[in-house]
Amino acid sequence: MTRVGVLALQGDVREHLAALTELGVDAQAVRRPGELGAVDALILPGGESTAISNLLRAFDLAEPLRARLSDGMPAYGSCAGMILLATEILDAGAEGRAALPLGGIDMAVRRNAFGRQVDSFEADLDFAGLDSPVHAVFIRAPWVERVGPGVQVLATAAGHPVAVRQGQVLATSFHPEVTGDRRIHRLFVEML
């Protein structure tokens, strides 16, 4: 059975583990390099991208995770996870404490693109491959400003990509883990 890890350093860890469990997936929290090595795929949750990046460095997970992604490990990132999966973060933050691009998807992402916490919103989005709209929760959400030639745009909001896929790596700028709609998680599991 495929084991899916959830990066458990900060953010919506519990919600992603619950979504995977509801789908009958063997799910495991990942905090250390050994735990990363024991999973077949990984979810990078929403949270705060700089905090998660700093914890990736502190727990010596940044380079092992970058290597696993480079070797083709399937991954899904929501919100902050989308930011981390990018090849370029347009507003990464201060040197040495910056959000860390892991290079899972050939895209440039802008953090907090929709605005501050008070600008958070919900919207129903058409999502490629799904028969009805996805109710999307955007919390200080990023958007994608550039995608490479191998990247498929699955959904847009305000004229920008907010869901993308490249091979076995999926990313959304919104939080399906908080809605109870498991179609995005199911799509990821079916990609494995």
Which structural domains are found in the chain, ordered by start?
4-191 (3.40.50.880)
Q: Kind and range of the H or E element at 28? A: strand 26-30
By DSSP bridging, strand 143-147 and strand 152-157 are unpaired
Query: Which token pair is 159?
Result: 């004229």
* Residue 47 in marked binding region: yes
Residues of the chain above pLDDT 90, percent: 88
* Residue 110 in marked binding region: no
Q: What does residue 186 show for φ and ψ, rounded to 5 degrees?
A: -65, -40
Query: Which token pair is 96?
Result: 């040495």
* Residue 48 in marked binding region: yes
Handedness of CA 14, 101, 90, 55 (dihedral sign): positive
The pLDDT tens digits for 52-82 are 999 999 999 999 999 999 999 999 999 999 9
SS3 per residue for 107-143: EEEECCCCCCHHHCEEEEECCCCCCCCEEEEECCCCE
Higher pLDDT, 117 or 181: 181
* Catalytic residue ranges: 79, 175, 177
Strands, E, within 49-110: which ranges?
75-78, 86-89, 105-110
- Tracing tokens 């491959």 back to the chain, one arrives at 129
Q: Kind and range of the H or E element at 59? A: none
* Residue 140 in marked binding region: yes
CB of 191 within 8 A of CB of 74?
yes
The pLDDT tens digits for 36-57 are 999 999 999 999 999 999 999 9
Write the CA distances from 98 to 30, 90, 151, integer angstroms: 22, 11, 25
Strand partners, 110: 143
Q: Alpha-carbon Rg of the chain, whole angstroms?
A: 15
Query: Which token pair is 19?
Result: 């979504």
* Residue 81 in marked binding region: no
**pTM of structure:** 0.95
What pLDDT, on a 0 to 100 scale, did the predictor assign at position 88?
Answer: 95
* Residue 129 in marked binding region: no
Q: Kind and range of the H or E element at 97? A: none
Strand partners, 152: 165
Q: What does residue 32 show for φ and ψ, rounded to 5 degrees?
A: -130, 160
